[in-house]
Amino acid sequence: MHLTKLLSGCAAAIAITLAVGSSAFADTFALVTINQQALFFNQINEGAQKAADAAGAKLVIFNANNVPSAQNDAVENYITQKVDGIILVAIDVNGVKPAITAAKAAGIPVIAIDAQIPDGDNVAFVGVNNTKAGEDIGKFYADYVKANMSGTAKIGVIGALNSFIQNQRLDGFKKAVADSGQKITFLDTVDGQNVQDVALTAAENLMTANPDMTTLYATGEPALVGAVSAVTSQGRTGDVKVFGWDLTKQAVEGIDAGWVTAVVQQDPAGEGKAAVEALTTLKKGGKVEPIINVPVTIVTKENVDQFRGMFK
C-alpha cells in the first residue's frame, strides 16, 4: 500500500513537472486593443491569432471598449502576469506611455500597432504612416474635385477626436487639400468617437446642419459606417460623395453604386501578424526594425473586386 502511494505521488510530481516545463517554453503574448466592434480591430486580432498559432504561442486579447485608462490597467496587469510580450493598439498614445515604460523595465517588449507612440519605450511600431496616407487620400480627393466637380466642393468630416491616429489622418488630408489650390470649403468636423451608433448620429446631424454639403470624409471604420448609413437614410446618394478609411460591406456597396468614391484600405490582419512575428523574433534573441510599415491601398471602383472576398 505504501508502495502504491509512493508510485502515485511520483507520477503526480512528474505530471506537474511536465506541465510546468511545457508551459515554460510556450510564449504568452497579450494584445490590448481599442474595441471589438470595428471590423478593423477584429481583423488585427485574427491576423495576430493565426501568427500566434503558427508560432506555438498563446495569445490573450483585452478589449478596452474605447476607454484609454482601461488600456493602462491592462498593460499593468499583464506585467504582473509576466507575459512574454505585449501588442498595443493605443487610444491615448501619450497617456499610455508610463505603462509601456513599466513593461520595458520589467523586461517585457511592447509592440505598438496602428498608432505610433511619440518617444515611447515600445520596441517597434507596426502599421501605416497615417499622416502620409491622409495626404494621399487628400490628394486623390482634390484631384477628383478638380476633374468631376469643377474644382469646387464643400466637405464635412466625421472623425474620432480622442484618436491620435485619426487626427493625423485628418491633418494629412487637410494639408493635401490646401496644397491643391482647389476651391474646397471645410464645414464642420463632428466626433464619432470610434463608435458606429455615435458616428451615425453625428453624421446625420452634420448633414442636417449643412444641406449644401457635397462631400464627406470619414477618418476610420465606425465613422465611415456612420457616413454611409447617414447618406443612405437621408436620400443623399445622388449628391454627396463619400471618402474615408477602412472598407466594410456597406462601403463596397456604395463604391459599386458610385457615391462612395475612395476608401483607404489598410491590411489589419497583416499588421496583427507582423506584430506577433516581431515578438517571436525578439523572444528568440533576434532584432526587429523600429518601424515595420504595412502598405495601404486606395480602393475605388477600378480595384474593389480584389477586396470583395473579405465580406463573404
- pLDDT tens digit sequence for 256-273: 999 999 999 999 999 999
Give the cell for residue 136: 494621399
Running DSSP on this structure, what letter comes out for residue 29? E
> pLDDT, tens digit, for every residue of 30-48?
999 999 999 999 999 999 9
What does the longest C-alpha to C-alpha distance in the chain come to?
A: 96
- pLDDT, one tens digit per residue, over 143-189 is 999 999 999 999 999 999 989 899 999 999 999 999 999 999 999 99
Nearest to 277 by CA among 265, 263, 288, 290: 288
Question: What is the rounded CA–CA span in Å between residue 304 and residue 250?
Answer: 13
Whole-model pTM? Answer: 0.79
- Range list of H helices, the chain: 2-24, 39-55, 68-81, 97-105, 130-148, 164-180, 196-209, 221-233, 249-257, 268-283
Specify the pLDDT at position 179.
Answer: 98
Express each pLDDT in 75-124 by its tens digit. 999 999 999 999 999 999 999 999 999 999 999 999 999 999 999 999 99
Is a pLDDT exceeding 60 seen at residue 7?
no
